[in-house]
Amino acid sequence: MKMLCTCVAFGALRLMAADPFSGTWKIDLSKAKFSGKPTKVEIANGTYKCFTCDPPITAKADGTDQRVSGQAGFDTLNTRVVDDHHVEQAAKKAGKAAFESKITVAPDGMTATMEFTAHPVASDKPVTGTDTLKRVGKSGPGNAFSGSWVTEKAQNFSENGLVFTLQQSGDRLKMSDQTGASFDARLDGKEYPYHGSSQNDHVVLKRIDARTIEETDKGGGKVLSTARMTVSPDDRTMTMVVHDSTGGIATLVWNKQ
């Protein structure tokens, strides 16, 4: 009996080791780090410009919906200048709200907060949160928000924006989150459908080693981001390094629940 129990336990441990990604994961925002290329914007002479967006955006900043093309997740953008230090933006896709943001630049112009509300296409519950931005270099012309910014920290995210679930079985990985987004893909470097997202329509997964998977998210035929996910030896944490199409890099730590 003792030998049988030992064998069963050993088999369970081997199964766990071969299946490190399965489980529900929650991000630890306090450990998030951001780097890479800054976001460069300008609001001057009644025009909003995002030089580092993919593709770049130029649109009137007059509080009306402006048509933009080539953006993942939205096709109109509304930029309203409240005053020199406050800007509000709202985006839509096919007439439906995609996101809203309220940007407040500090009196010294060196930091800014961005309160956002995102509207998932597969859920009626929005995702909310706040990003703190830090200026890089000199300010630009016009509004105090003009210039180059990097994300310093992310906080106050709603629960539905913090958690997702993975189910790994052999060379297959399934993902689902609380906004209704999901995929079911093999780790073979081929494209598979990505459901419930306004940005991603396909995903590509590659196994790097037993504890590392590379995920490439695509939308509209182009790569939007690439993430390398590595699970710790004790299976309790996962580190994800995300490179987006605008040159930004995010290093995120997730805890298994």
Residue 120 confidence (pLDDT): 97
Read off the pLDDT of residues 12-68 as tens digits, 9 standing for 90 and up.
333 444 589 999 999 999 999 999 999 999 999 999 999 999 999 999 999 999 999
Q: What is the pTM of this model?
A: 0.89
Residue 19 confidence (pLDDT): 87
The widest CA-to-CA distance across the chain, in whole angstroms, is 81
Read off the pLDDT of residues 128-162 as tens digits, 9 standing for 90 and up.
999 999 999 999 999 999 999 999 999 999 999 99
What domains does the chain contain, in order, with CATH numbers?
Answer: 21-31+163-256 (2.40.128.20), 35-159 (no CATH)
Composition of the chain by helix, strand, coil, percent to 5:
10, 60, 35
Q: How many Cα atoms occupy the beta-carbon half-sphere of 214 within 13 Å?
A: 12
Residues with Cβ within 8 Å of residue 43, at least 6 apart in sequence: 49, 61, 79, 81, 87, 142, 143, 145, 146
